[in-house]
Structure 1
Amino acid sequence: MAAPPARRAAPPAPSGAGRPGSGKAVGRGAGKGAHRVRIVGGQWKRTPLAVPDVPGLRPTPDRVRETLFNWLGQSLEGRACLDPFAGSGALGLEAASRGARRVVMV
């Protein structure tokens, strides 16, 4: 019987990652631009948005917004949109990009 193929070791974590006080995150989303947000449709498609690194602020991911607007329809021409938890404003700006007549972000 042949031995199973050897697994490759994971690349080493960046220096200081995961240590208390290092300021470097480890885990899901670490180093992958957790706060990189872009408009996914409409006239401003692919436009990146600057999102502040504020504790507790978690912008709606691109895939979630894309799915939401697929359900609502690609064009929001003439419609009003309310974004009641507009921390980053990504959802409201996405609606404006898709032609919403009015966007209210709270």
Structure 2
Amino acid sequence: MASQQLNSGNPRVDIEYRRKKSAEEMRYQVVSFALMIFLTLIAFATVAIEGFTAWFTVPVIILLAIVQVIFQLYYFMHMNQKGHEAPALFLYSGLVVGLITVLTFTTIIWW
């Protein structure tokens, strides 16, 4: 397996490319951080408002938590970049095993 050459031989081009990529990555992280803060405020507001029942509040909070986990994985843990296929495989395999376990115990208890 041959490694790809990341340098073009021109140091100025490489520095400009890295700066551009770093700025783009930082922009994604700041936007996702702002969205996570906004989702957290929505979750707090959902709990604070007296008119919502628990049947509405709990699924909304779980949905917001799932969205925040996706933001955490893809932007703060850099799972959206190349070279993270093996950790993603293990992560998703663990997720499938966990969901199957929860489903199994739920069906055992309820039926």
What's the TM-score once normalised by structure 2's chain length?
A: 0.25
What's the TM-score once normalised by structure 1's chain length?
A: 0.26
